Structure 1
């Protein structure tokens, strides 16, 4: 099996801490459908409490299986046109992607992404063609449960390294651990365990010397109630407690509700509630 990409070395704990929590958005709706000819459509909308508005996006995706070419076109309520062209298997394991964003009269962006997957290593390169231009690349290697990787960002115009990071992880099936260092400053250590088929637990600790000598710690757990529902909880040392419940109402229809509370400011109006409804057909 090929090793994960650099950003996925801590995928298990990142998913446990960040996925399926709904308090960040008061309301969100996601609809996905596929036409008989294989064209996929997606409509997403979510409310923004800061802007008091609805952010929406409409997307269509067409795939030519004969050539491996995929075209995705999106249009958002911010009048941004997002286009992505993907070409798989230029050679075995190599995938290329050109992604552009254009906001008439405001901004434009273009990025070329390359990924290469082999049994014992993976590599990626991302070129920002209009900003800089700049390059971000990463490489991971794996052997008998251990995986290690490095990432580097390079500003081509300034001829200087803009960022770098290294990470090391180990997975033994039921549990995984990982350690990463960013720019020789931000250090992150994480632990994830599947205690049973129903219960997952994990924790992450982050040390940022620029923000002080304290270590920020988060702990999360997920319990699967049955085949159609789950509950999650997350606690941070900052006092934030987040709770979430996800229910499959029927095949292709999922409802999620969540809340977060500041245990240090229970009498203040800083708590959040949110829900999400997803359809797929």
Structure 2
């Protein structure tokens, strides 16, 4: 079995703090999503988000089979993003490609390779002087070590490199990331206190300026099946989320954000409705 991919080191804390399907995502703008599946298995999703006095709409069509998947998305900027993937091209190998139309310079190919003690991902742009992204990780039992780098062949320069070390146990994860070309250190932690409740924290320190920020989060599945989540940042910004699924199948999420150190400041709030 391949080790945890580099991008997934400390994934539980990332999801809790930044948002994921398991613990919900804060939504401070009105959002409506409608999903349906055709008889042929194509999933269609239309999303509209109101930002100030403007509504941004996107449309996505996706189809997945055992050996391959294809999805096409029309963004609010009227650009079309197309992605196609082939699974098990060879043992442990997945091949995918993507492009944003009409900008053909965005075309790229990604190779994922997994084997015992090694997970490798390489992305190369389909241009004469491409940017090459490489990420690799290895692990033993619950420990995982990985790194990633970007090489700009036009400049013959290494433009990005990050290193991460993580420990993934059954009920908690700890991760340390040296990012921004060794200019930033990130430490994250998540712990499933019970099957229904999770806590997490992240500390970020800029080494050049010694600036330090942190965030704490707590999520809990209620007995009703609803989800509640809270996040507190060192700036005093407090965010709260409540997500529930109605009997008719719609998922409704409400979010509230306020400045805990200045309650006179106007709060932000929003909601999301997912119709399936």
- TM-score normalised by length of structure 1: 0.90
Structure 2, unpaired ranges of 5+: none
Change (3 A) 1:198 1:71: closer
Secondary structure of 2:15's counterpart equals helix
Counting matched residue pairs gives 271
Partner of 2:237: 240
Matches within 5 A, 1:1-281: 1-19=1-19, 20-23=24-27, 25-49=28-52, 52-63=53-64, 65=66, 68-103=67-102, 109-130=106-127, 133-182=130-179, 183-210=181-208, 212-226=209-223, 228-250=225-247, 252-269=249-266, 271-280=267-276
Structure 1, unpaired ranges of 5+: none
Deviation at 1:131, TM superposition (A): 9.3
Secondary structure of 1:178's counterpart equals strand
Q: Would the aligned equivalents of 2:105 and 2:126 in 1 still touch at CA under 8 Å?
A: no
Deviation at 1:17, TM superposition (A): 0.6
- TM-score normalised by length of structure 2: 0.91
Q: Would the aligned equivalents of 1:22 and 1:273 in 2 still touch at CA under 8 Å?
A: no
Find the aligned partners of 1:113 and 1:73 in 2 and give their Cα distance: 17
- Kindly report structure 1 stretches of 4+ aligned residues shifted beyond 6 Å: none
Change (3 A) 1:204 1:63: closer
> Residues 249-276 of structure 1: CA distance to partner in whole angstroms, max 9, x if unpaired?
137421110111112333233x210111
Deviation at 1:59, TM superposition (A): 1.5
Find the aligned partners of 1:8 and 1:125 in 2 and give their Cα distance: 15
Secondary structure of 2:246's counterpart equals strand
Change (3 A) 1:77 1:214: closer
Secondary structure of 1:255's counterpart equals strand
Find the aligned partners of 1:277 and 1:252 in 2 and give their Cα distance: 11
Find the aligned partners of 2:243 and 2:105 in 1 and give their Cα distance: 37
Deviation at 1:61, TM superposition (A): 2.0
Find the aligned partners of 1:235 and 1:134 in 2 and give their Cα distance: 37
Secondary structure of 2:14's counterpart equals helix
Secondary structure of 2:89's counterpart equals coil
Change (3 A) 1:213 1:64: closer
Change (3 A) 1:111 1:250: farther
